[in-house]
Amino acid sequence: MQKKLLISLILLQGCSMNSPTQNTAAEQLIEPPDIRYASVAPDKDIQEGQRMQNPLKENQWQLQSYLSEQGMQSALADTQASIEFSERKVSGSTGCNRYFADYQLIGDDTLKISQTGLTMMICVEAIAAQEQQFLKNLAEINFYLFQDQQLRLLDADREVRLVFKMLPALTLEQTAWQMTGINNGTGNVVSSTQTGKANLQFIDGKLQGSSGCNALTASYQINGSELSIGPVISTRKFCAENGLMIQEQRLLQALTQVSRYEIRAQQLRLVDVNGSLMLSLKQK
């Protein structure tokens, strides 16, 4: 029976479904900061599978090609569609939106992926078409195969649906990070056309970056995945460009609440003590 793909609609702030495919200056809800993944109680087969080493876990994979009605298509350049498996959780990017689901390994090569949740940013037309096909393929996956340094995901007939290449793991301190979402202080993480102007870089205990308007600097300390950021100092330039000063205020407030970091699917997530998302970033 064909799996049903359940898309968890997350309302866009300041946008409607009739908005043009190109992102506008209006803020868009990219992920509620307190989003949680539903857990599925493992059955006997899953418990047995979890006793074995998980060959999918911990690596990050970037989409190379996917099956479409015209056959295998190369992934769009610079979209960074990806997949990553943690303990019973699979997540990643379609190249525009983030998706998340539970998964199960059974036997040597069987992979079952549960109903999939999805954020709902508006995507340009070409990326939206790739996203639709990517999710359609993901819902049909039954098997996995490592071949030619690739991860291949196959359907019930063992036809290749998705092909990924392994990515080198990103680290907090060896990467220049570009902002993709900022907590707006009301329980949502939003993005606008100004968001990508902000950036952060962590270098030997010193945080440097930009709010998109002013330069920022602060000290920081790392203890495992715990991250504490000291008082932030910024330049005092006024930027009249639409929304930049509001963005800066929200960014500075979010930085004060960061207590931990996560790197998943080539994205940096800075979260507070409760696990709520404060800032999301991608490699610059």
**φ, ψ of residue 209 in degrees (nearest 5):** 170, -160
Query: Is 153 strand, coil or helix?
Result: strand
Q: pLDDT value at position 208?
A: 97
Q: pLDDT value at position 124?
A: 86
Sketch out the chain's domains with CATH numbers: 35-167 (2.40.128.270), 172-283 (2.40.128.270)
Output the six-digit token pair for 2: 């064909």
Helix (H) or strand (E) holding 28: strand 28-31
Name residue 165's beta-bridge partners.
Answer: 62, 150
> With a threshold of 0.75, does the pTM exceed it?
no
Residue in 180, 167, 102 with CA at minimum distance from that of residue 141: 102
From CA 180, how far away is CA 171, in angstroms rounded?
Answer: 17
Letter for the amino acid at 279?
L
Q: pLDDT value at position 265?
A: 64
Q: What is the pLDDT along the chain (284 residues), one digit of tens a residue?
A: 444 444 343 333 333 333 333 333 355 555 544 443 333 344 444 444 444 578 888 688 999 999 999 999 999 987 889 998 988 899 988 988 889 999 999 998 999 999 999 987 778 899 999 999 999 999 999 999 999 889 999 999 999 999 999 887 789 998 999 999 999 988 888 888 899 999 999 999 999 999 999 999 999 999 999 999 999 999 999 998 888 999 999 999 999 999 999 987 678 999 999 999 999 998 88
Q: pLDDT value at position 29?
A: 57
| DSSP single-letter state for residue 185 | S
Name residue 167's beta-bridge partners.
Answer: 60
Q: pLDDT value at position 30?
A: 55
- Are the C-beta atoms of residues 39 and 102 closer than 8 Å to each other? yes
From CA 233, how far away is CA 208, in angstroms rounded?
Answer: 10
